[in-house]
């Protein structure tokens, strides 16, 4: 039985496709910033988070978070709000923390609107 590489190949495909685009960064600082944001987004995906919601959450939360508490903003932290998590993850981990994941409220819906 041979080794299976398709998972690894799929995970790096966006990087390979985007690599040519990064050649056109106007400065080394711009390229570094692109790399940092790309790393945050890919790490969020690997931790079953919604990249946009997670990025929005950390950008809104970081200014009000003491540096010694930055670990609470990491994608694998138990303190990440449910709105940042993919539905499959919130269903399987709803009992692991005090916060209940109500997907209707995440979507901005409630029973009176249905």
Q: How far apart are CA 114 and CA 112, in angstroms?
A: 6
Looking at residue 81, its pLDDT comes to 96
Q: Which of 28-42, 70-84, 97-111 has the highest mean pLDDT?
A: 70-84
Model's pTM, two decimal places?
A: 0.64
Q: DSSP assignment, residue 49? A: B
Paired with 49 in beta bridges are 85
Q: Is the pLDDT of residue 113 over 50?
A: no
pLDDT digits (tens, 9 = 90+) for 19-75: 777 677 788 888 888 888 888 998 999 999 999 999 999 999 999 999 999 999 999
Distant-in-sequence, close-in-space partners of 101: CB < 8 Å, separation ≥ 6: 82, 85, 90, 91, 94
Share of the chain above pLDDT 70, in %: 69
Secondary structure of residue 47 in the 3-state scheme:
coil
d(CA 68, CA 62): 11
Strand partners, 85: 49
pLDDT of residue 91: 57
């Amino acid at each position: 039985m041979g080794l299976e590489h398709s998972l690894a190949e799929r995970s790096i495909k966006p990087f390979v496709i985007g690599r040519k685009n990064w050649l056109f960064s106007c400065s080394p600082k711009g390229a570094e910033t692109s790399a940092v944001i790309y790393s945050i987004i890919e790490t969020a995906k690997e931790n079953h988070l919604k990249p946009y919601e997670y990025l929005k959450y950390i950008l809104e939360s970081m200014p009000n978070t003491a540096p010694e508490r930055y670990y609470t903003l990491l994608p694998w932290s138990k303190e990440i709000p449910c709105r940042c998590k993919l539905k499959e993850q919130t269903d399987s981990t709803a009992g692991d923390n005090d916060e209940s994941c109500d997907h209707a409220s995440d979507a901005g819906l409630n029973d009176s609107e249905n």
